[in-house]
């Protein structure tokens, strides 16, 4: 059995089989491209009239037919892709003589590259919007949890005392780098390949800059080979999404860990939890866990996409068709993950008492070593040795480190350094005061309240600036939509 694909194969090839046609077809992955492809065809028609290549009457008829394409438009897999489906639709209504002009001076190669970039740029703005909302939640939580003392961890072992605010701001800052990457990528994505033809441009005088303007691009990919061939912008975008999800994973990893009975640092809302099918007492952080797993899927999409393009020479090959669904998948999973995390985090309840109960004197050890080295004329390595000895004594005797320090610091220092130091009990009490310990750290970027408040104020300004980028670029795209519609109206006014 064969399919009628004459619009594609013409008189060059005989008809293909259903099996081969199905294998080649990308229609299931082309659904997001319907609207961009429609706009590209309309802009291309307007440009051809401007260049006196096509008459207004033909262009108007094609454009009016293109505008009939809406959400109900169905793609036929026998026509391979969205491009041939759209052209077939126009030809079926206008005939070959008029509708057959739709692909004049363009190729599927430049058209699909343009359409993918149009989807990618709007997706970047959506991702930036979602990150912005997540950062707002994190910043608000940081403001209200400056006095929540908690352990920090290295090697997942207790390290030093910080605040919940300081921990949250670390996540905020990693997301800020994601914002920077997406903003930079946006400018590279928002360049038009349209008008490059299949690979070597066309003999017709196409105004590529004009098409780019109508479609809201901020310039063109100039070289026709590069314009139609490259998918580096997809790899760059997917790399950004991978880094974003790795940063998101750090947050949900903490939520999963901190919600255990062993930690009890946070209570995740019932809305984002589930219970067990057999253990009715259970409350499982399933949304956080599933967000965590999505990063692995997106890494897989990235690696698969790199594998698809790594061996290709310059010039379009249909291999890269298989990259597109990986891009869509990564975008959609990232968008939903960030959105869900934002809502989930905003409803989390943090347990100040549980965090404080997990603090112990050993978390002061590094600061005690630095304090001794800077105040008692001994080297840091010597003081490190002294505090390490005292820490072991505390562990063996099951006493708090502060108790051991009060009783054995002078003796241990004398033994290790040969020096006699004078340390008062009040001095030691001050060193081991957890709140004083945190707030004594005034170095830029430290967890003290003064530094935390300074960082919060600075990040509020940064958040406003990132919002301005989104608004600016979205307004630019909106203006191009208005320009395209105005150009359509101007054309139809003199086309009959």
Annotated catalytic residues are 155, 276
Residue with tokens 């001050």: 430
Q: Of 455, 481, 488, which is closest to residue 135 (Cα–Cα)?
A: 455
Residue with tokens 């249909």: 318
Q: What is the DSSP string of 226-270?
A: HHHH--HHHHHHHHHHHHHHHHHHHHHHHHHHHTSTTT--EE--G
Residues 6+ apart with CB under 8 A from 195: 47, 105, 106, 110, 201, 202, 206, 207, 208, 211, 220
CB 77 within 8 A of CB 27: yes
Tell me how far apart the alpha carbons of residues 470 and 172 are, in angstroms, rounded to a whole number: 18
Q: How far apart are CA 51 and CA 379, in angstroms?
A: 79
Strand ranges, E, within 64-156: 149-154
- End-to-end alpha-carbon separation of the chain, Å? 44
CA distance to 9, 50, 232, 312, 317, per residue, from 323 (Å): 24, 35, 11, 13, 12
Handedness of CA 412, 413, 418, 422 (dihedral sign): negative
Number of residues that make up the chain: 496
d(CA 106, CA 54): 13
Of 462, 396, 423, 366, the C-alpha closest to 135 is: 462
> Phi/psi at 298 (nearest 5 deg)?
-70, -35
């Amino acid at each position: 059995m064969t399919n009628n694909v004459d619009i594609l194969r013409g008189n060059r090839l005989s008809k293909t089989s259903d099996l081969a046609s199905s294998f080649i077809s990308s229609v299931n992955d082309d659904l997001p491209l319907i609207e961009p492809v429609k706009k590209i065809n309309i802009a291309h028609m307007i440009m051809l009239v401007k260049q006196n290549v096509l008459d207004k009457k033909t262009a108007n008829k094609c454009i009016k037919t293109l505008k009939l394409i809406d959400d109900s438009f169905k793609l036929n897999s026998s026509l391979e892709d969205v491009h041939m489906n759209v052209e077939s639709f126009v030809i079926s209504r206008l005939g070959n003589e008029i509708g057959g002009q739709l692909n004049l001076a363009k190729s599927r190669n430049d058209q699909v590259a343009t359409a993918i970039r149009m989807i990618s740029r709007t997706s970047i703005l959506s991702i930036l919007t979602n990150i912005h909302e997540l950062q707002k939640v994190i910043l608000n939580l940081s403001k209200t949890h400056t006095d929540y003392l908690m352990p920090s961890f290295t090697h997942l072992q207790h390290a030093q005392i910080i605040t919940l605010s300081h921990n949250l701001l670390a996540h905020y800052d990693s997301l800020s780098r994601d914002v920077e990457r997406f903003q930079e990528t946006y400018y590279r994505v928002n360049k038009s390949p349209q008008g490059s033809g299949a690979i070597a441009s066309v003999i017709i005088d196409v105004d590529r800059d004009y098409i780019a303007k109508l479609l809201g691009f901020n310039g063109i990919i100039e070289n026709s080979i590069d314009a139609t061939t490259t998918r580096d912008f997809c790899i760059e975008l997917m790399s950004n999404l991978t880094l974003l999800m790795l940063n998101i994973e750090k947050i949900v990893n903490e939520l999963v860990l901190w919600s255990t009975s062993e930690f009890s640092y946070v209570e995740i809302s019932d809305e984002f939890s589930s219970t067990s099918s057999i253990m009715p007492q259970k409350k499982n952080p399933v949304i956080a866990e599933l967000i965590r797993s999505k990063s692995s899927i997106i890494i897989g999409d990235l690696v698969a996409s790199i594998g698809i393009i790594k061996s290709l020479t310059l010039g379009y090959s249909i291999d890269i068709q298989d990259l597109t669904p990986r891009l869509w998948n990564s975008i959609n999973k990232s968008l939903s993950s960030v959105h869900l995390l934002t809502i989930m985090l905003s409803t989390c309840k943090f347990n100040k008492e549980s965090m404080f109960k997990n603090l112990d004197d050993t978390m002061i050890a590094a600061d005690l070593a630095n304090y001794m080295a800077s105040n008692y004329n001994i080297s840091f390595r010597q003081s490190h040795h002294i505090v390490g000895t005292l820490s072991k004594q505390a562990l063996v005797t099951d006493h708090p480190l502060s108790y051991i320090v009060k009783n054995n610091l002078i003796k241990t220092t004398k033994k290790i350094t040969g020096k006699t130091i004078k340390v008062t009990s009040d001095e030691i009490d001050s060193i081991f005061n957890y709140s004083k310990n945190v707030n004594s750290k005034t170095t830029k970027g430290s967890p003290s309240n003064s530094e935390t408040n300074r960082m919060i104020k600075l990040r509020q300004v940064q958040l406003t600036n990132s919002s301005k980028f989104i608004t600016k670029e979205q307004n630019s795209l909106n203006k191009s939509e208005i320009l395209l519609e105005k150009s359509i109206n101007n054309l139809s006014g003199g086309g009959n």
